[in-house]
Amino acid sequence: MELFIWSEECSVGIPELDAQHRQLLEVLAELVKSTKSGESAAFAPIALERLEKYGTRHLLREEMVLRIRGYPHYLEHKAEHEVYRQKFVALQSNLARRDLAIRVVNFLGEWWKSHIMISDQEYARYFRGRPPAP
Ligand SMILES: [Fe+2]
Ligand SMILES: [Fe+2]
């Protein structure tokens, strides 16, 4: 797959969570675009605001789905989400930095590669073929 472009390989098989992952990719794409057009200083704080919504909504929702469906690696997964939350707070405390946009792009890109495409795919593989939540 092309990096940071949505394809079926990115799907976790749960439409609501897929839609939220796609939102993250959209923010990432817009952020990259803004660094090329010279608008990143204005857009980076907006992107962070959107990501805050993403973080609180998506991560909590995903944790709930994993818990309800009895995912055996729930605690490890949640621990990775905690790391995301901590790094996100650190980014927020540096809003005035000139390199904010590039730091957020690196953070999101890394999260996409190391968590969404690996850890999220692990639960997707586990749930595939199992009945949905009651
Ligand atoms: Fe996720
Ligand atoms: Fe996750």
**CA–centroid distance, residue 18 to ligand 1 (Å):** 8
Q: What superfamily does domain 17-127 belong to in CATH?
A: Hemerythrin-like (1.20.120.50)
Convert the pLDDT of each residue in 73-86 to its tens digit: 999 999 999 999 99
Q: Model-level pTM? A: 0.90
Tokens in use for 66? 């994993």
- Could you state, in order of their start, the residue ranges of all structural domains in the chain? 17-127
Please determine, for residue 71, whether its predicted confidence score (pLDDT) is greater than 50.
yes
Average pLDDT, the chain: 91
What pLDDT score was predicted for residue 48? 92
Q: Where residue 68 falls among pLDDT bands split at 50, 70, 90?
A: very high
**CA–centroid distance, residue 66 to ligand 1 (Å):** 11
Distance of alpha carbon 14 from the chain centroid: 15
**CA–centroid distance, residue 65 to ligand 1 (Å):** 11
Cβ atoms of 55 and 83 closer than 8 Å: no
CA distance 34 to 27: 10
CA neighbor of 85 nearest in space, from 55, 42, 44: 55
**CA–centroid distance, residue 49 to ligand 2 (Å):** 19
Q: What are phi and psi of 44, to 5 degrees?
A: -55, -45
What pLDDT score was predicted for residue 98? 82
Convert the pLDDT of each residue in 76-123 to its tens digit: 999 999 999 999 999 999 887 888 999 999 999 999 999 999 999 999
CA distance 125 to 14: 12
CA distance 83 to 96: 22
What pLDDT score was predicted for residue 108? 93
